[in-house]
Amino acid sequence: MDSSLSFKSGLRDVLPTVFGYVGVGLAMGIVANTSHLSVLAVLLMSLIVYAGSAQFIIISMLLAGSPVSAIVLSTFLINSRMILMSMTVARYFKRDSLLQNIGLGTLLTDETFALSMNKLNVTDQKLRPTWLHAANVVAYLVWAAATVVGCLLGNLIADPDQFGLDFAVVGMFIGLLYLQIITDRSKPLATQAEVVLFVAVCMFFLMRFFPGNIALLIATLLGCGFGMVVSPK
């Protein structure tokens, strides 16, 4: 990853995350297939909802025949972390048009958000719409394609996990988190380590009472507050 913010460099930077999208997308398509969802429904869901973990929940709730209102509420809760990520990344696009901002927000994901935060550390705290659009669009198309292929292959591959592809997304966040910690010079390493430990401990205690997705949101909010308190003034 270098300091270039061109379209081409966006394509290059997003490449490592593609593995994560392919792994999870295939798995989602296969789950959808075994839940008797049509290829068209899978494609529409990936294009319109476009949210990894939420799509798994939606499929399982559709299969269970849950009321639409309950599915929509669950989706909102799982994806409410997007509000925090969008707010964080939006600061760097204040001078760009509202239309550009809406375009960037529409396709922002956990992965392209994390990638942007990594990128800031090598570009002197700058981002450009072209660069993020490139990353976003690649992620969007790869996700849609992977879920559709997964759905089509559903009957052929009994156990996609045997190739370890389900770990791609975890591996990606390990890499993104590590690179974030070592390249973010705006905060002392000790402060970052304290936030990491605090959030990890919070997650363990919160998951006694809440499912992972909700625990994740609360732990992030607590972690940001904790960071403000412990960072040197």
Partner 1 sequence: MNAYILITILLCGLVTWLSRVIPFAVIKNMTVPGWLINFLSFVPVAIMTAIFVENLLVYHAGHWPTFNLPNIYASLPAILAGVLTKSLLAVVITGVAAMALLRFVGLG
Subset of residues 1 to 30 that bind partner 1, contact rule: CB under 8 A: 1, 15-17, 19-20, 23
Tell me which of 33, 79, 112, 147 binds partner 1, using CB under 8 A: 79
**Helices then strands (H, E): number in the chain?**
11, 0
Tokens 């550009």 found at: 100
- HSE, CB side, 13 Å, CA atoms: give it for residue 228: 5
Helix, strand, or coil (residue 108): coil
Contact characters 114-153, partner 1, x per CB under 8 A: x--x------------------------------------
Please enumerate in sequence order all residues whose Cβ is within 8 A of that of 199, keeping only pairs 6 or more positions apart, or say none. 219, 220, 222, 223, 226
Task: Please work out the total of residues on this chain that contact partner 1, with binding judged by CB under 8 A.
Answer: 99
Task: Please name which of 177, 179, 214 lies closest in space to residue 197, comparing C-alpha atoms.
Answer: 177
Q: How far apart are CA 172 and CA 134, in angstroms?
A: 19
- Candidates 2-10, 137-145, 148-156, 170-178 — which segment interacts with partner 1 by CB under 8 A? 170-178
- Candidates 2-10, 127-135, 145-153, 183-191 — which segment interacts with partner 1 by CB under 8 A? 183-191
Tell me which of 3, 34, 80, 155 binds partner 1, using CB under 8 A: 80
**Least distance CB 42 / partner 1 (angstroms):** 10
- Candidates 126-134, 140-148, 149-157, 191-199 — which segment interacts with partner 1 by CB under 8 A? 191-199
Task: Please name which of 44, 65, 45 lies closest in space to residue 53, comparing C-alpha atoms.
Answer: 45
